[in-house]
Structures are given as C-alpha cells and as structure tokens.
C-alpha cells in the first residue's frame, strides 16, 4: 500500500508499506528525499524525520536557499546527482555532448509529478521481479533536471506480502537535437542518517572453488565498495550487500539487504560522511561504462531489490528466498520437483563414448537416479579443453550411435537426458573461428588475452546470437533433451566490437549482458519445458538475473563436502535452496583430495537441487544401496528443503566450545511448521566436545517426533534447551534429523 500526505510546505510525502516495513519519501523544496526505511511505523505526521544538521560555511546551499540549514551535501537524497553540491557518491553522472563550452558532468533531480499504480509494470530489457495487481503497488516519481534536457522516472514497487522494495530508474533524453552521455546510472541509493557508527557491512566474497563466503566488516568514515570489473557478476564478489548493526545476529537486530538483478560488472558502494550519515548504492559499475543517449532515447537501469528486517539476517534471507523463488524464477520448474541427476564430468572428464555413458546410465537407473547429463566433450573435435567451442555439432567418433539414438537408449532406461553447452565462448582451434574470427570480442591492434584456451564471442552482435540460437536449437530439437547446463568459463577482456561505432565503446560491457538476456529469452521461449541450469566455472555468475532464466545454478566447481558448507551457507544469504545445485562427488575429492564418507557427502548435498558427479560403475553394492536411500530421502524431504524456511543455526565462523571452524548446523522448516529437517556437521573434531544446538522456527506448543528414532520433543524444548548432540565424532561426520509434528 502507498499512502500520500501533504507536508506543511504543501509538498507530498509518500509512505510505502511493504509487508511489515515502511519506506517514506518526502519532497522538500522540490528534492526527493529519503525520510525513513525499516520496520513499519503507523504515523502519518513524519516531517520531523528529516534531519536538520547544522553545518559550516564551506558546505554549499542551493542556488535560492529558503533556510540556512538545507544543503545538498547533507540531504538524504533518493537519487543523488553529481556536480551540483552533493560531494558524496552519486547515483547519476551525465555529460552534455551538445554543450557549446567545456563543462564537467552534472545532474540534479527535482520532483515534477507522480503516478501510483497497482501491480508492477514490465520494463524491458531486463529480468526483474514479476508481480500482479494483488501482489504490489508501484510509485513512479517523475523528475526533471532543470539544468538539462533529461527526465528521470524513479520506480518504487512495494511488495504487499514481503518487506521488500524493488527500485529502478528510467532516464530519458527529452530533446529533439541534443545528445547526452551517461557516465553512471545506478539502480538505487539509500541514505541512512542513524546507522553509523554501530553499522557493519555484510557481503559475499570468493574466487574459483570458494564462492560466496560471508564477510562482515565495520563501516568506516569514507567509502567501501563491493564490485566486479569482469563483465560478469563474478566469483570474487556477489551483487549483494547488507547493512546491519553490531548487535545484529541471525535472528535479532536490524538488517537492510540490497540485491542487484544484473549479470554484468556491478558496484555496491557504502559511504559514511562526516556527520555519520550512511549512503548505500547499487548499480552498473561506472568504470568502463558510458552510454550514449540520443534524442528521444531512454536508458533503463537494472532492478535493485531492497529487503528490510528487524529480526536479523535470517529473516532477511528468508524474505529473499521466498520472493525470488515465487516472483523471480519463472516457468514450470519453479514449483515442479527437480529430477535427481548424474553428471559424467568428474566420472570421465573428456574421455568417454556412448558406451561409457550408457554404462553409467544403467547403474543410475538401478539406483533410482532420474537423469543423465552429458557434460563437456561431446561436440566438434573436443578431446580436451583446447578446441571446438562454437562447433555445436555431435562428435560421432564418441557418440557413434548418434545423439538421437543415445538419448532414446537413455530414455528407455527410464532416465531423462541433459546436455552441456558453453555458448558464449569460441576456441581459436575451431571451424567457427576459422570462418568468423571477427565474431570475437577484441580491440584492433591489441593482443587478445586467452583463458582456458578460449576467447569470448561478441554476443552484442545479432548475427552471433542468431548463429548460437540456430545451432543450439538444432541440437535440442534433434532429440528428447530435457535439461541444459549453460556454462561460462572466462571473463571479458579486450572488449571491442566490430559493429559498434567508436563513440559507443563504453556500451560494450552492458550490451554484452543485454545480448545474453536476449539469447536466453529466445532459448527458454522456444523450449518452455527445458530445465536450464546456469554455470560459470562453478558459481561465477550466480546472480538473481540468471535465476530468471535458470531456476537452478551450479553452486561451485568445488564439490568437497566440507568446503561446500561455507559455500552453500553463504549462498543462502540471498538465494533459495531450490536454486543451489548440489552434487555428491567422488572421494577422495578431486579438488581438495579430502576423503569424506558417502553418507556425509549425501547429507551436505541435500541442501538444494540434488545430484551426483562420480562414476557409479566403480562403486560397491553397499555404496549403491546407500545412494538408493539418499535418492529416496531427497524426494521425501524435497518440499521442506526447497519450499521451507531456512535457519542458519551455526556458521563455520561461529565460536563453539571456545573454537571456530569446528562445526556447522542449519535447518529447514515447512511454512506450516509441521515438518523440519535439521543438519549438524562436525568439520573438525576435538577431545570431549559438548554440542547443544537450539533449533528455530518450530511451533513452541507442538510436539515433534524424530522419524528415525521415534523420540518425541516439545517445540519449546527444542528451541530453548536444544538437542544434545554430544557424541564421539570423526572429522566430517554429519547428522540429519527429520522431525514431524505429531
């Protein structure tokens, strides 16, 4: 709901009510200002929330000051501009390319009018939260820049059932003859006058094989930035951050999350000014970005989703999980139970043929596994990682019976069939490169970087996207293929395009992302029943925008169970369990060399879309019987894991028994609180440890039964006294407890 009142100065105040949160905007002297955001408040008289900070004479006042305290350098702007008196980080920076004299970039917004509509308008060309008139209301602030020919529409969608605000901005050139250059165009900015010095920034950092580790850092006076310059959202940083107080825990205290629905280079900046006010911004990375805005054209920013929690990081995460699962992911696989799959990559790498795949498929069918995925190496002359990317035709020396016949044989065993592609890449040793070397991203006169023996295709070009759509569609149409793993194994360098004019060079990184979305949209539209799984050397492009097309994502190339605990718990800060692809792999693990029991590997992989990544033909009958039980458990627990509420009980970074890195625990609780699945893992054991774990999210008045032992517990006992898990553990032991309400 969005309420509008009028201030004593005759200007509007907008109170956006989203779930149990409030977001309040005031127009003051024409400036859109941020008054409040956080847990819901009932008052309509909120003018006094505007901070009036005394300042010294060096802080500039507006050109026609109506008082001696309002300054652009301290005002809590909704969308701050550059070069007009606000010296903090700006959300927008514009250069007038038609100016007759030299001038620095400048921008300043003034409110002109507003529109309030039920529902949420679709703003191409991006993925975004989808919602109807029953789900949300949208406020659009129509703003002008009095010193420019640009207009700004600020979109705010308040979700009714979630404490979440979706924000984006549309910048339009209203001139008939003048041209502007956008040097920065962020999606959202929030100013908080009350947070520092008690605030900390939570974000997710990593690299290949150790994505999305949680880091929590105290704010400082000055700027902190989480960003990617790689042309993709990256393994190094995720397009998410949260502001919390020092007292905030998983279940208590304030948390404000901001998540950017974008797959390219991004920036999230947090700056504390000398008065203790904190500005949090998210959007496209300005470095390497410049967008030419010709007469009559507009530029739409990606969407940022802001979530408010007064009950810690846990509630913030659960809001993101439900919102993204129900209102971001699309298609029939959002609520449909995902099949248990086996991928041949760690079983065979490049060395396989149709007979080997069928031998794995036969064992898989016997174990109850439901899909075989043929990974890298099935196309062109691909016998290692040095050739054939772009040559999307079947290697008949490996698949001797032909792809349609192979798929039919796998289907006859009762399994679905999936296949791996890396569409955005091209090998120098390939037929495609011989025919079209100009299809690479490259800068004339500059040597091309090479990574993994491959270059990046220029998917800003429509002809390249057409080629990829036609060749991929040809493969998918040739056989009963139910699943695609879409990989992306290197980042963008020497980003030049042969078809763009020189003055649009700053658009290439962003146009690449738009080209990706166009191609993904065409594929998912043409094959609506396809289950698409994203991948990028593991979780290198695991972002909300990719979930719009692929409802599950390969969480990391590191399949070691102990390493996956950190990765999966960090991923859960924003992303729902249903989006995490988690596989049981071989032991000793191929990445770390660590040996872990098959039981533990199965329990850790039971945290999302479940599957296997090993050679079933080499396992003992005892191991296969355990796999049968694991597959049955996955189906048994599917709903509570993938549709329930997640509670992170113990992080590996928490101190337990005076030490960190010793254990971890988490649980899922069904929405009606009738069922729970609890997991406890001992990462590194010690002498005589004592483990009591207090559960969360249960009905305190209900009685729950452990389905394995038959023992009954009251919900309040489990949450207040906890489970006594003290026992003799070895490194890597895991315990899973399934509870149902009596």
List, by residue number, the catalytic residues.
487, 557
In the three-class reduction of DSSP (H, G, I as helix; E, B as strand; rest coil), residue 522 is classed as helix
SS3 for 28-85, per residue? Answer: ECCEEEEEEEEECCCCCCCHHHCCCCCCCCCCCCCCCCCCCCCCCCCCCECCCECCCC
Question: Degrees (nearest 5) of the Cα angle 506, 510, 513?
Answer: 150
State the Cα–Cα distance between residues 720 and 475, nearest whole angstrom: 56
- Return the biggest CA–CA distance within the chain: 83
391 with 472: CB under 8 angstroms?
no
Two structure tokens written together for 21: 């949160």
* Strand 303-309 to 255-261 pairing: antiparallel
The CA distances from residue 81 to 35, 144, 155, 190, 365, in Å, are: 18, 12, 17, 13, 60
Q: Residue 147 belongs to what H/E stretch?
A: none
State the Cα–Cα distance between residues 189 and 90, nearest whole angstrom: 9
- End-to-end Cα spacing for the chain: 39
162 with 213: CB under 8 angstroms?
no
46 with 28: CB under 8 angstroms?
no
Two structure tokens written together for 656: 């337990």
State the Cα–Cα distance between residues 531 and 338, nearest whole angstrom: 9
582 with 606: CB under 8 angstroms?
yes
State the Cα–Cα distance between residues 252 and 466, nearest whole angstrom: 51
* Strand 371-374 to 416-421 pairing: parallel
Bridge partners of 21? 18, 39
**Strands lying side by side in the sheet with 645-650:** 645-650, 663-669, 675-682, 734-741, 703-706, 712-714
The CA distances from residue 131 to 10, 119, 134, 135, 419, in Å, are: 33, 6, 8, 6, 32
- DSSP conformation class of 322: H
Bridge partners of 737? 678
Alpha carbon 449 to chain centroid, angstroms: 28
């Amino acid at each position: 709901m969005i309420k509008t009142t009028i201030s004593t100065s005759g200007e509007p105040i907008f109170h956006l009510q989203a779930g149990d949160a409030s977001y309040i905007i005031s127009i003051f002297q024409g400036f859109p200002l941020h008054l409040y955001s956080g847990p819901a408040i009932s008052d309509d008289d909120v003018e006094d929330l505007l901070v009036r900070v005394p300042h010294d004479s060096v802080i500039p006042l507006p050109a026609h000051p109506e008082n001696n305290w309002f300054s652009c350098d301290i005002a809590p702007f909704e969308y701050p501009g550059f070069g007009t008196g606000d010296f903090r980080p700006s959300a927008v920076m514009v250069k007038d390319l038609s100016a007759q004299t030299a001038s620095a970039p400048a921008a300043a917004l003034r409110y002109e009018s507003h529109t309030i509509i039920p529902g949420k308008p679709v703003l191409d060309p991006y993925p975004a939260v989808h919602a109807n008139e029953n789900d949300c209301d949208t406020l659009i602030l129509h703003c002008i820049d009095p010193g420019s020919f640009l207009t700004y529409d600020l979109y705010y969608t308040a979700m009714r059932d979630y404490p979440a605000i979706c924000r984006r901005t549309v910048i339009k050139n209203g001139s008939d003859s003048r041209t502007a250059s956008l040097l920065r165009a962020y999606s959202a900015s929030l100013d908080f006058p009350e947070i520092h010095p008690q605030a900390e920034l939570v974000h997710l950092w990593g690299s290949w094989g150790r994505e999305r580790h949680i880091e929590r850092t105290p704010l400082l006076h000055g700027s902190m930035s989480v960003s990617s310059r790689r042309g993709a959202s990256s393994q190094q940083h995720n397009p998410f951050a949260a502001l919390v107080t020092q007292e905030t825990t998983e279940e208590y205290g304030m948390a404000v999350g901001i998540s950017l629905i974008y797959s390219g280079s991004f920036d999230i900046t947090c700056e504390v000014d000398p008065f203790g006010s904190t500005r949090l911004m998210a959007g496209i990375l300005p470095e390497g970005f410049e967008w030419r805005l010709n007469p009559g054209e507009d530029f739409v920013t990606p969407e940022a989703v802001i979530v408010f929690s007064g009950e810690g990081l846990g509630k913030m995460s659960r809001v993101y999980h439900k919102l993204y699962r129900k209102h971001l992911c699309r298609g029939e696989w959002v609520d449909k139970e995902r099949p248990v799959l086996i991928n041949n990559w760690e079983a065979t790498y490049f060395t396989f043929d149709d007979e080997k795949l069928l031998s794995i498929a036969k064992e898989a069918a016997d174990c109850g596994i439901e899909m075989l995925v043929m990974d890298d190496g099935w196309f062109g002359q691909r016998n290692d990682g040095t050739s054939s990317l772009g040559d999307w035709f079947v290697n008949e020396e490996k698949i001797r019976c032909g792809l349609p016949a192979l798929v039919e044989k796998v289907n006859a065993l009762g399994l679905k069939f999936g296949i791996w592609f890396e569409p955005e890449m091209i090998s120098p040793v390939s037929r495609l490169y011989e025919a079209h070397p100009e299809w690479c991203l490259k800068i004339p006169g500059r040597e091309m970087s090479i990574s993994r023996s491959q270059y990046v295709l220029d998917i800003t070009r429509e002809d390249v996207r057409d080629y990829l759509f036609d060749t991929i569609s040809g493969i998918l149409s040739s056989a009963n293929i139910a699943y695609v793993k879409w990989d992306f194994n290197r980042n963008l360098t020497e980003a030049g395009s042969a078809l763009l004019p020189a003055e649009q060079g700053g658009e290439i990184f962003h146009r690449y992302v738009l080209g990706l979305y166009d191609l993904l949209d065409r594929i998912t539209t043409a094959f609506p029943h396809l289950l698409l799984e994203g991948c990028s050397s593991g979780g290198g492009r695991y972002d909300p925008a990719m979930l719009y097309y692929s409802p599950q994502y390969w969480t990391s190339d590191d399949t070691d169970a102990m390493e996956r605990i950190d990765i999966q718990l960090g991923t859960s800060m924003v992303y729902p369990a249903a989006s995490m692809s988690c596989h049981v792999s071989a032991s000793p693990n191929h990445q770390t060399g660590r040996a872990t029991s098959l039981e533990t590997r199965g329990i850790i992989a039971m945290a999302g879309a479940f599957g296997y990544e090993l050679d079933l033909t080499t396992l003992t009958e005892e191991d296969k019987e355990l796999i049968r039980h694991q597959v049955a458990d996955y189906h048994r627990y599917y709903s509570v894991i993938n549709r329930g509420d997640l509670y992170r009980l113990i992080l590996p970074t928490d101190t337990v028994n005076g030490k960190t890195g010793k254990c971890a625990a988490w649980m899922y609780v069904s929405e009606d609180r009738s069922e729970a699945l609890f997991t406890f893992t001992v990462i590194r054991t010690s002498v005589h440890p004592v483990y009591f774990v207090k559960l969360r999210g249960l009905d305190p008045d209900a009685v729950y039964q452990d389905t394995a032992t038959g023992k009954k517990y009251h919900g309040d006992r489990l949450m207040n006294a906890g489970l006594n898990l003290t026992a003799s553990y070895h490194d890597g032991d895991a315990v899973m407890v399934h509870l149902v309400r009596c």
